[in-house]
Amino acid sequence: MKKILEINDLKMIAKKNLPKMFYDYVDSGSYTESTYRDNENDFNKIKIRQRVGRDISSSKLEKTILGKKYKLPFGFSPCGMGGMLYPDGEILVAKACEENNIPYILSTMSICSIEQVAKETNNPFWFQLYVMKDKNFVENIIKRASDAKCYALVLTLDLPILAQRHKDIRNELSAPPRLTLNNILQIIQKPKWCFKMLSTSNRSFGNILGHVKGVDDLSSIVKWTDGQFDAGLSWDYVKWIRRLWKGPLILKGILDEGDVKIANNLDIQGIIISNHGGRQLDGTLSSIMALKNLKNKVNSNIEIFFDGGVRSGKDIVKALSLGAKGIFMGRPYLYGLGAFGQKGVEKVIEILIKELNTTLLLAGETDVNNLDQDNLY
């Protein structure tokens, strides 16, 4: 892996390794994908202040998030289908995060279940919850997360309905893949991926399969999931979840000042400024521009987290300087997972640490906790 120098190198390897449907699932946004592109491109509008003549012989990257000390100021976002990129993918990601002491948020739509990930790890991970119409399922999965000692619950608010992702429809995406001519042609072109996937029985949505009455195969999972996203989502739902969950509660998908004002009055511990990776409302604000707008609007007792468009250590420095307490990302670690499994995820962390540390020091700072607006032009 000596010639792998940046996240994009892993992205290219993942593209070679994966069936098109699964690579496209990662590398895509909704509709025109304008917000997906803006999430990355808008980072280039923000410039880091260069300072010289300072002692930068040492550095500190540790961060306390939600009262817990982590080795680094970043973690990995909830992403569905990780286990279709590499066998037992979510377990491997959780192990890499545990070894590096960074937070990992397991998705409701993961291939490996909460229980499977908890069995293979020791440090508590976080769990992400989608708003579902089936309240029994919601109550049960929150209990499962609690039983698994998940540290925090991340409630996603920006998916009351599912925005169209053209690539997924054209690829007839599902987990496991349906045996259509298009899918068969994609899969047989990636024999190494096929052989790897034969090593695991985890090929569908582990948090759902066997935990919902009547949902026990691919067709029933698809039918159940399609009818579950709740267009009637309101702030009362958050209050209901708060009564069910006793640990830290974070709201994911906040972009607007009006929503921040409402969130400020709720019993929550954090918000994640995010547009779902450009996979929901196409044409909305990039996450980094939303962070600029909202950084001074959030109550001091609520921690601000950031997600969207991070591809390098310098992006982490910029988001921290704009007021984020912790930085989350999804696609970089999925590229690493699709490229080399757990070793690829660990390589992503290694690359980000080096880029983050170098950028921090060349900006004349030695502690990520001291970064603020003054570090930007």
Residue whose tokens read 């982590």: 70
Work out the average pLDDT over 140-165. Answer: 96
Predicted confidence at residue 174, as pLDDT, reads 76
CATH of domain 7-50+59-375: 3.20.20.70
Chain mean pLDDT for the chain:
95
Over residues 159-185, the mean pLDDT reads: 88
CA atoms within 13 A on the CB side of 118: 16
pTM: 0.96
Q: Which residue has the higher pLDDT, 75 or 216?
A: 75
- Ranking 96-105, 116-125, 188-197, 217-226 by mean pLDDT, the lowest is 217-226
**E-strand stretches of 85-152:** 105-106, 126-130
E strands, 59-201, where? 63-65, 68-70, 74-76, 105-106, 126-130, 153-156
> Using N-to-C axis directions, what is the helix angle for 34-41 and 287-294, rounded to 10°?
60
- Separation of alpha carbons 200 and 197, rounded Å: 6
Beta carbons within 8 Å of 91's beta carbon, 6+ residues apart? 112, 116, 117, 120, 121
Residue ranges per domain, the chain? 7-50+59-375
Contacts of 150 (CB under 8 A, 6+ apart): 106, 114, 118, 124, 125, 126, 127, 247
Biggest CA–CA distance in the chain, Å, is: 67
166 is catalytic: no
Torsion of CA 150, 11, 280, 141, to 10 degrees: -20
pLDDT of residue 137: 94
pLDDT at 177: 79
- Could you report the per-residue pLDDT of 341-351, keeping only the tens digit for each? 999 999 999 99
* Residues 6+ away with beta carbon under 8 Å from 225: 205, 208
User: Per-residue pLDDT for 122 more than 80?
Assistant: yes
All residues at 6 or more sequence positions from 213 whose CB lies less than 8 Å from its CB, including other chains: none
**Alpha-carbon torsion 141, 171, 104, 374, what sign?**
negative
Least confident of 2-16, 207-221, 353-367: 207-221
Q: Are strands 105-106 and 126-130 parallel, antiparallel or unpaired?
A: parallel
- Active-site residue (options: 63, 276, 325, 347): 276
Identity of the residue numbered 16: K
Cα 249 from chain centre: 16
| Structure tokens belonging to residue 84 | 């279709």
For residue range 332-343, what is the model confidence (pLDDT) as tens digits? 999 999 999 999
How many angstroms separate the CA atoms of 347 and 294, rounded? 32
Q: DSSP E strands: which ranges in 141-217? A: 153-156
Query: φ, ψ for residue 100 (rounded to 5)?
Result: -105, 5
